[in-house]
A = this chain, B = another copy of it.
Amino acid sequence: MDYHSMEEKLKNPIKQAKVTENMSVDQLIHAIDGCAFGAGKLADAVDIYAEMLSGKSTSFFGLAGAMVPAGMRGIITDLIKDGYIDVLVTTGANMVHEIVESMGLHHYKGCSECDDIELKHDEINRIYDVYLPEQYFIDFEEKMKTVLSDIGGDTISIRELMTHLGDHIDDKSSILKAAADMNVPVYCPAIQDSMIGLQAWLYKQTNPLNVDAFADMREMIDICYEANDPGALLVGGGVPKNYIFQSMLITHQEFNYAIQLTMDTPETGGLSGASLDEARSWGKVSETARSVTVHSDATITLPILVAATRSRLAGR
């Protein structure tokens, strides 16, 4: 770290936030951008994301956590439709719940303090304060059978499977359909670890279906090689974060923008909570990259980040 003089250290007074009625989200972000702790970091995140999306940056989006059941699906879909996501890496679970929603089925607002045995007897599955009827997985199975039936016997990649799913969805709010329509690749490295994987495997017992575990890599690495001024928004950590960083790492390109929205902290050493400075030691994030981690619930910070960034992009 470079030495900074005392004057440099004391050149930016904390601005006390002024909050009024009828502020826009972006005005609120401006109101807190001279604040410290999470407030200042969220304001930095908006600044970085707006710069990243307003330029020519190839934009990666890592989506972990139960964000679709929580109600964040439309935010992702709209970002894809508007060209703000070039590559989506996510978990199988998010894609399962995305398909369930695309079938016109819903998740339900429940209670995190409840009797899980009673829920079980009601055949309701719980995800914190979200309820999902077990029946929906049977409906999901039917949907998957139909969609997989015209996939053919050629070896395909997981990304191609995701595109195929998107092509068979008829719902304008769908992440997978928007991605298929916009030619945005969706990677889902741990697809077998989901109901999609399970249904694919069941289908495969009696039908040809060849999904190569490693077939995505050339495509993903090519994207990384050719990426322009690459940037990443990482919601949660997990496999999406690692896969995005690892793929860029082997190209010897580096991310010039990186934003993490997560509750995980670095102390236990897991990747999900690892700092973006740590990522610099690996060359995943460049030495001069603009980067910030906002330690707060992503169901709160993602909508704010997107709303404020959209205001700035509209104002260009």
A115 adjacent to chain B (CB < 8 Å): yes
Q: Is A35 in contact with B197, judged by CB distance below 8 angstroms? A: no
Residues of chain B lying within 8 A (CB to CB) of residue A38: 267-268, 296-300
Q: A72-B35, A268-B37, A301-B300 are in contact. Are A6 and B113 (CB under 8 A)?
A: no
- A260-302 contacts to B (CB < 8 Å): 263-272, 274, 277-278, 280-283, 287, 294-301
Cross-interface CB contact of A117 among B18, B200, B216, B287, cutoff 8 Å: B287
Interface residues of A in 195-248 (CB under 8 A from B): 195, 197-198, 200-201, 204, 209-214, 216-218, 236, 238-239, 242-243, 246
Q: How many copies of the polypeptide does the oligomer hold?
A: 4
Check B65–A270 contact: CB distance below 8 A.
yes
Whether A39 and B131, one on each chain, are in contact in the complex, defined by CB atoms closer than 8 angstroms, is: no
Question: Does A144 count as interface, using CB distance less than 8 angstroms?
Answer: no
Whether A128 contacts B266 by the Cβ 8 Å rule is yes
Question: How many angstroms between the C-alpha atoms of A280 and B117 in the bound complex?
Answer: 6
Contact digits for A175-212, partner B, Cβ 8 Å, 1 yes 0 no: 00000000000000111111101101100100001111
Q: State whether the Cβ of A88 lies closer than 8 Å to any Cβ in chain B.
A: no
7 closest pairs, A vs B, by CB? A38-B297, A35-B71, A39-B299, A13-B106, A190-B190, A21-B310, A128-B269
Identify 18 new A-B residue pairs, CB closer than 8 A, beyond the known A32-B299, A197-B214, A211-B212.
Answer: A1-B114, A9-B131, A13-B107, A14-B106, A16-B101, A18-B74, A19-B310, A21-B307, A28-B307, A32-B303, A36-B70, A36-B71, A37-B128, A42-B300, A66-B271, A69-B269, A189-B192, A193-B243
Instruction: Write the residues of chain A forming the contact surface with B, with a CB cutoff of 8 angstroms.
Output: 1, 3, 6, 9-26, 28, 31-32, 34-40, 42, 64-66, 69-75, 78, 93, 101, 106-110, 112-120, 122-131, 133, 158, 173, 189-195, 197-198, 200-201, 204, 209-214, 216-218, 236, 238-239, 242-243, 246, 250, 263-272, 274, 277-278, 280-283, 287, 294-301, 303-304, 306-307, 310-311, 313-314
